[in-house]
Amino acid sequence: MPPHVTVLYPFRRSRRLEPDVEAALGEIASDARPFDVTLARIGRFPGVVYVAPEPAAPFIALTEACVRRWPEHPPFGGRFAEVVPHLTLQEGPEPAGLAERVAMALPIRARASELWLMTQGRRGRWTRRLALPMGPR
């Protein structure tokens, strides 16, 4: 999967993505505005190394908009009380020196301008099904 900051996972399976779901995601994207983001700080969850995007608030707002539309899909299955936007670097044991090597490349500046819908195929491979531009059309 390409580097990304997750907005909502898990979501619907590919076979349950009716046109109204895609249209609703398009509305959420069009209501959002593109924004600049900086990846400047390494963080950790148990078993996960990530880079934190700043500001986090626009990502949280996108997550909240999706959950309002699909309350049956809480972020990460409702396992966590707080939404923490992150770009995952490593899941599982942390390789020696990973954080130090990544820290040398930080900060990374980017512009968040699309909401992607990613789907997972039978063999576990993720593909981008939709790229929805943020902002009014």
pLDDT band for 19, please (50, 70, 90 cuts): confident
User: Given this model, what pLDDT does residue 65 score?
Assistant: 98
Residue 137 has pLDDT above 80, yes or no: no
For 11-77, strand residue ranges (E) read 35-45, 48-54
Q: Is the pLDDT of residue 11 over 80?
A: yes
- Separation between Cα atoms, residue 35 and residue 5, nearest integer Å: 13
Which residue blocks in 35-97 are alpha helix, DSSP H? 57-69
For residue 13, what pLDDT band results from cuts at 50, 70 and 90? confident
Q: What percent of the residues of the chain are helix, what percent strand, and what percent coil, each to the nearest 5?
A: 30, 30, 40
This prediction has a pTM of 0.92
What rounded mean pLDDT belongs to the chain? 94
Q: Mean pLDDT over residues 57-73, rounded?
A: 97
Task: Return the structure tokens found at 130.
Answer: 């939709």
**Domain boundary assignment for the chain:** 14-121
Fold of 14-121: Cyclic Phosphodiesterase; Chain: A, (3.90.1140)
Q: In angstroms, what CA-CA distances link 55 with 22, 102, 110?
A: 26, 19, 12
Rounded CA Rg of the chain? 15
